[in-house]
């Protein structure tokens, strides 16, 4: 599936399939093939901007990770003392903004 400008990014706990540089006419078939492969591998396909993330089957996202980091760094009462700004550029960042 890594052809015509498509590539896979290893993000450690997950993978992201990027297709931004692929020809438009071949994308629908490519996207369906990638989603099927991700699901068959036991991961959850999640859309991103010109990409599909293969997320592991765990209840963990950028929102939960952000809370964990804030609690670890500033304590359980961090929200009473600390104000944060989270800026993102993709739909995958929205979990951290909830």
- Give the model confidence (pLDDT) of 23-35 as tens digits: 999 999 999 999 9
**Backbone angle region of 8, left / alpha / beta, with phi > 0 → left and psi within -120 to 50 → alpha:** beta
Q: What angle do CA 22, 49, 27 make, to 5 degrees?
A: 30
- Give the model confidence (pLDDT) of 5-54 as tens digits: 999 999 988 899 999 999 999 999 999 999 999 999 999 999 999 999 99
Q: Where are the domains of the chain?
A: 7-55, 62-97
**Backbone angle region of 41, left / alpha / beta, with phi > 0 → left and psi within -120 to 50 → alpha:** alpha
The pTM score is 0.68
Closest C-alpha among 34, 69, 74 to residue 50? 34
Of 57 and 24, which is predicted with more confidence?
A: 24
* Tokens (6 digits) for 47: 């859309």
* Tokens (6 digits) for 6: 């498509």
């Amino acid at each position: 599936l890594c052809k015509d400008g498509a590539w896979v990014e290893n993000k450690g706990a997950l993978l992201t399939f990027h297709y931004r540089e692929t020809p438009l006419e071949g994308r629908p078939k490519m996207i369906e093939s990638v989603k099927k492969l991700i699901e068959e591998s036991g991961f959850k396909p999640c859309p991103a901007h010109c990409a599909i993330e293969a997320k592991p089957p765990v209840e963990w996202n950028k929102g939960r990770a952000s809370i964990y980091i804030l609690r670890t760094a500033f304590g359980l009462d961090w929200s009473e003392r600390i104000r944060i700004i989270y800026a993102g550029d993709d739909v995958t960042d929205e979990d951290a903004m909830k």
